[in-house]
Amino acid sequence: MYTAESYDVIVIGAGHAGCEAALAASRMGCKTLLITLNLDSIAMMPCNPSIGGTAKGHLVKEIDALGGQMGLTIDHTYIQLKLLNTAKGPAVHSSRAQADKQKYQKYMKHVLELQEGLTIKQDEVVSIDVDNGKIKGVSTRNGAYYGCSTAILTTGTYLKSKVIIGEVMYSSGPNGLASANELSMNLRELGIELRRFKTGTPSRINKRTVDFSKMVIQPGDEKIVPFSFMSEVKEIRREQIPCWLTYTTDETHDIIRSNLYRSPIYNGKIEGVGPRYCPSIEDKVTRFAEKPRHQLFMEPEGEDTEELYVQGMSSSLPEEVQIAMVRSIPGLENCEVMRTGYAIEYDAINPMQLKLSLELKDIEGLFCAGQINGTSGYEEAAAQGIVAGINASLKTKGREPMILHRSDAYIGVLIDDLVTKGTKEPYRIMTSRAEYRLILRQDNADIRLTKIGYEVGLATEERYLKYKKRKEMIEEELKRIKKVFFPPSDEVNEFLRKYESSEAKSGTNLFDLMKRTEMNYFITGQIDKDRPDLPIDVCEEVEIEAKYEGYIEKQLQQVEHFKKLEKRKIPDYVDFMNISGLRIEAKQKLSQIKPESIGQASRISGVSPADISVLLVHMEQLRRRGER
């Protein structure tokens, strides 16, 4: 072992979490080292060739608003863009892109290589050095010891990972890459609780061997909505590549049912817990037996490859069964399977061992982010990566951590769910998890987060000024349309009749007019003579604020109440086991999770409102006795 250079921040793993963490730390001026098993798998997408989707699109926008990289990288490497759920309210509008996987990786790797203050190394971290409850450094397989002030574990699906295909099981990372087999033991010795999780992926087939005449084309949107607030539509607009829709058949279901006994999920070969919201095809056919067919999307893996990803057919059945299964699909009768689907098991930590900053409660300076924390998804990983990168950097600067609350961001919902409630299976973000989703829209992520990203030292001056300008334009326009008044007139009523909107009996202003179902910002332009020429995203923002004013008001009041409880901090030295009147279950849960506020305590399952009252009385007594 030789002693190499020391760093402020060391990031272990260059997956989606590691890339954001390393860029955040180095862009905040920290001397940063990124160590990863294989430089050619930086930002690799081992599963679906897409970024975003319902709620995941919100995360990408929030990462971008804070000054992160994922949004910019996908804007420069997408092959198809869509805005999902546009038939529903703006709270669930979510961007989704089909990515060119190879180009995405190359682009992200180059951004990392160009980053000042960031050193990248290909190696395996085999142990973490901790002294007196504080991180000291890391050791690698190549024999190096790197000292550090903080370190971030983002090892994804590689820790003691095993690939399973039917009766076949072997030690491997995703896509035939090496797994990391030494670190898990060290983490356990450090007292970190690990458990086995699993996920799975479908086959990849050769496009040349597919009969698309039996499928339904799925083109991208005409209207381009960038992921990054820094991207200009005209710079990222490009020709899009379609996906294709087909379905499973009775034959497919019969093949699966008659081979279930060979499925490692059903014969117990797999011990890891899988994601409920990303079920394998075996699960779908078994759990939704009443469904005659399941949707499958053929998703191109990139522009310069014939590989197609069979979305919706994740499986770990034996290879020959998978081939028969795939060839029972309309359009795939003669297809060539290039990569067989598989399941992968790996070690992950129990995230309830973490603070809301993603620092381990029992090892100072060691942070965890991504799949290792029990989540599933590129976006979920990147969201944790940027938070861990920011907080590791703030720690090296002796500054308070950046905590995003459930009322600030989907990132706040994600982390609070993990740390306060834990997860028994790979956790996936969903809009239903966010109680304040009407104000946590993807369109206003910059309004909610860019100032925070700027104040912690990550968001650039250029991004900050762009956000301020957009915010001012929105506020100015909202002020203006509240002053644009229309007394009842034939002209206005003729206009309203044209859109089958009821006549205006009394005077109204433009803001209120826009609330009408038949009206929107663009239609009212016909009677709004002095309308300034504003960017379309500003107009859309103004329209949402007008149409949903009442609901937004109500949600903001709920947030005020929520914030009051979040501000009631619980001092570190409170000994929950000795608070009389607390139920034993509450004492145990509070002592295990060590909530940072009354708000967080009230979200712990097994802690009742009565327990919270007892806790509040106890804290008041401490305050009176001047012990706070």
Ligand X SMILES: Cc1cc2nc3c(=O)[nH]c(=O)nc-3n(C[C@H](O)[C@H](O)[C@H](O)COP(=O)(O)OP(=O)(O)OC[C@H]3O[C@@H](n4cnc5c(N)ncnc54)[C@H](O)[C@@H]3O)c2cc1C
Positions touching ligand X (CB under 6 A) are 12-18, 35-38, 41, 46-48, 124-125, 154-158, 174, 180, 183, 199-201, 278, 344, 370-371, 376-378, 381
In terms of CB distance, is 187 or 542 closer to ligand X? 187
C-alpha separations of 521 from 91, 184, 439, 481 in Å:
18, 56, 19, 10
| Angle between helix 16-27 and helix 101-114 axes, rounded to 10 deg | 20
**Measuring CA to CA, which residue among 140, 562, 52 is closest to residue 16?**
52
Q: How far is the CB of 17 from ligand X (least distance, A)?
A: 3
**Measured distance CA(371)–CA(275) in Å, rounded:** 12
Q: How far is the CB of 599 from ligand X (least distance, A)?
A: 28
SS3 track for 535-585: CHHHHHHHHHHHHCHHHHHHHHHHHHHHHHHHHCECCCCCCHHHCCCCCHH
**Measured distance CA(212)–CA(209) in Å, rounded:** 9
**Measured distance CA(586)–CA(531) in Å, rounded:** 58
C-alpha separations of 232 from 53, 70, 224, 458 in Å:
21, 16, 10, 21
Q: How far is the CB of 32 from ligand X (least distance, A)?
A: 15
Cα angle 279, 227, 54; round to 5: 30
Return the beta strands (E) in 303-365 as ranges. 307-311, 337-339, 342-349
In terms of CB distance, is 23 or 344 closer to ligand X? 344
**Measured distance CA(195)–CA(172) in Å, rounded:** 18
**Measuring CA to CA, which residue among 74, 69, 62, 55 is closest to residue 21?**
69
Q: Judge contact between 382 and 20, C-beta under 8 A.
A: yes
**Measured distance CA(129)–CA(44) in Å, rounded:** 28
Q: Judge contact between 82 and 95, C-beta under 8 A.
A: yes
52: left (phi over 0), alpha (psi -120 to 50) or beta: left
Q: How far is the CB of 282 from ligand X (least distance, A)?
A: 14
Burial (0-12, 13-18, 19+ Cβ within 10 Å), 609: exposed
Q: How far is the CB of 621 from ligand X (least distance, A)?
A: 44
In terms of CB distance, is 17 or 452 closer to ligand X? 17
In terms of CB distance, is 276 or 497 closer to ligand X? 276
In terms of CB distance, is 45 or 559 closer to ligand X? 45
**Measured distance CA(599)–CA(267) in Å, rounded:** 43
According to DSSP, residue 161 is labeled -
In terms of CB distance, is 13 or 67 closer to ligand X? 13
In terms of CB distance, is 185 or 616 closer to ligand X? 185
In terms of CB distance, is 271 or 585 closer to ligand X? 271
Q: Judge contact between 532 and 542, C-beta under 8 A.
A: no
In terms of CB distance, is 246 or 376 closer to ligand X? 376
In terms of CB distance, is 35 or 496 closer to ligand X? 35
In terms of CB distance, is 125 or 409 closer to ligand X? 125
Q: How far is the CB of 371 from ligand X (least distance, A)?
A: 4
Q: How far is the CB of 502 from ligand X (least distance, A)?
A: 47
Cα angle 155, 161, 162; round to 5: 160
Residue type, 532: P
Residue type, 229: F
In terms of CB distance, is 427 or 521 closer to ligand X? 427
Residue type, 513: L
In terms of CB distance, is 343 or 619 closer to ligand X? 343
Helix (H) / strand (E) element for 131: namely: strand 125-131
Helix (H) / strand (E) element for 602: namely: helix 598-602
In terms of CB distance, is 42 or 323 closer to ligand X? 42
**Measured distance CA(265)–CA(611) in Å, rounded:** 41
What is the distance, to the nearest Å, from the Cα of residue 496 to the centroid of all Cα atoms in its chain? 43
Q: How far is the CB of 355 from ligand X (least distance, A)?
A: 19
User: Which stretches of 151-197 are DSSP H helices?
Assistant: 183-189
